[in-house]
Amino acid sequence: MPTPNAIPMPLQHIASRPRRELPEDTQVPVRGLPIRQPPRWHAPLEWLVRGLAMLAVLAIALIFAFLLKSALPMWTSAEVRKEVTQAQMWFATLWPGYDTPQNIWQPVSEIPKFGLWPLVTGTLKSTLVSMLIAGPLGVAAAIFVAFYARGRLREFLKPTLELLAGIPSVVLGFFALVSLATWLQDAFGFDSRLNAIVSGVALSIAIIPVVFTISEEAIGAVPATYVEASMALGAAKWQTILKVVIPTAAPGIASAIALGFGRAVGETMVVLMASGNAAITSWNPADSVRTLSATVASELGEVVFGSAHYAVLFYLGLLLFVFTSLLNVLGGRIIDAQKAKVKSR
C-alpha cells in the first residue's frame, strides 16, 4: 500500500529532474500582471547615486591627503625636527629650568614645547564626562518614548529632543561660559570656574540627540512579537525591556554610543569656550583642560605658515582624523559582534 507522501509513478521522472536556477535579474511573469520595464530615468538616477557615494569617499580621501601633506614635515623636514621630535611630543623631556622631565604644551615660549599629553588627557576628560551624561540619558529617553510615553507626550518629547541637535555649538558654549559654569561652581565649589565638568555637561547637550535618535530607532526595530511573547509569559514591562528589548537592540545602541563618542571628540566650539583652555596634565575633572580640537581652532589662525608649530597643528588634525576613523571601525566591529550574538540566541 503506497504511503500518503509517496510520489505517483507517472510523476516520479518529473520530480527527479534537477531544478534549473534562474538568474537573479530574470523577470518571471505573474498571471494577469504585465511585465513592465523600469522607466528610462532609473539608470541615470542609479549612476547619480553611485557617483555621489563615490564623491563622498573621494572627499574623505582628499581630506586625509591634505592633512598628511601638511603634517609631513614632521618626518621629512630637518628644520622642523630641530624644534620638535616625536619623542618630545609623546614622552616627558627634561627642559631647561625644570628639575624633572615634563610633558608640556607651550608652543610660543622661548624654547617651544609641544608635549601632547596635556591635550590628550583634556580631550579624554571632557569626552568621558559628556558620555557619562549623554549615554544613559539618551538611551533612557529612547526607552521612555518607546514604551511609556503616550499620545501628546510622545509627540512632544521626540521632536524636542531631536531639535537639540540643531542648536549651534557656539550657543551651547556661550551658555556654558555665562550661566552653566557659575551654577556648577556655586553648587560644587570648583576652584576653576571653567573645567572638564562644565565643558562635558555642555557637550552632553549636543550628544544626547545623537544617542537618543539612533537608540530609539533601534528599539523601535525590535519585533513586536518578542515583546508580546515576553509579556504573555508573565514578564513585567521593565523585565521585558531589560531581558528582551535592550539585548535585541544592543547593536543599534552600541552604534549610537560610538557615534556620540566620535561627535564629542571632534567638538570644538563648546570646549573652546567652556573648558578653560589650560594645558594641564591632570585626571581631575574639576581642573581646566585644553583639547586637541580647541588647540587647532585657537592657534591655527595665528601660526606662521610652514613653521614647526604649523606642522604640529596639522599633525593634531591628522591624529583626530585617524582616531575617529579607528573609532568608527571599532564601533562597526562591536556592532557586528552584537548582531552575531543576538542571531545565535
Q: Please indicate, yes or no, if residue 87 is contained in any of the structural domains.
A: no
| Burial (CB count <10 Å: 0-12, 13-18, 19+), residue 14 | exposed
Q: Please indicate, yes or no, if residue 207 is contained in any of the structural domains.
A: yes
Maximum distance among all alpha carbons in the chain?
105
pLDDT tens, the chain, 345 aa long: 455 555 454 444 444 555 555 555 555 555 555 567 777 778 888 889 999 999 999 999 999 999 999 999 999 988 888 889 899 999 988 888 888 998 999 988 888 899 999 999 999 999 999 999 999 999 999 999 988 888 888 888 888 888 888 888 999 999 999 999 999 999 998 988 999 999 999 999 999 999 999 999 889 888 889 888 998 988 888 899 999 999 888 888 988 898 899 889 988 899 999 998 888 888 899 999 999 999 999 998 888 888 899 999 999 999 999 988 888 887 777 777 767 766 666
Euclidean distance between the first and the last CA atom of the chain, given in angstroms as a whole number:
44
**Alpha carbons 217 and 213: distance in angstroms, whole number:** 6
- Residue 5 has a pLDDT of 52
Q: Please indicate, yes or no, if residue 32 is contained in any of the structural domains.
A: no
**Alpha carbons 154 and 147: distance in angstroms, whole number:** 10
- Residue 97 has a pLDDT of 84
Q: What phi-psi label fits residue 97: left (phi over 0), alpha (psi between -120 and 50 degrees) or beta? A: left
Identify the CATH number of the domain in which residue 179 sits: 1.10.3720.10
- Residue 141 has a pLDDT of 93
Range of the domain at 213: 113-343
One-letter amino acid for residue 306 of the chain: G
Neighbouring C-beta atoms of residue 313, cutoff 10 Å: 23
**Number of compact structural domains in the chain:** 1
Q: SS3 sequence, 47-95? A: HHHHHHHHHHHHHHHHHHHHHHHHHCHHHHCHHHHHHCCHHHHHCCECC
Task: Give the HSE-up count for residue 176: Cα atoms under 13 Å, Cβ half-sphere.
Answer: 28
Q: Please indicate, yes or no, if residue 222 is contained in any of the structural domains.
A: yes
Task: Give the HSE-up count for residue 266: Cα atoms under 13 Å, Cβ half-sphere.
Answer: 17
Note the residue count of the chain.
345
Q: Please indicate, yes or no, if residue 104 is contained in any of the structural domains.
A: no
Quote the strand ranges of the chain, DSSP E.
105-106, 113-114
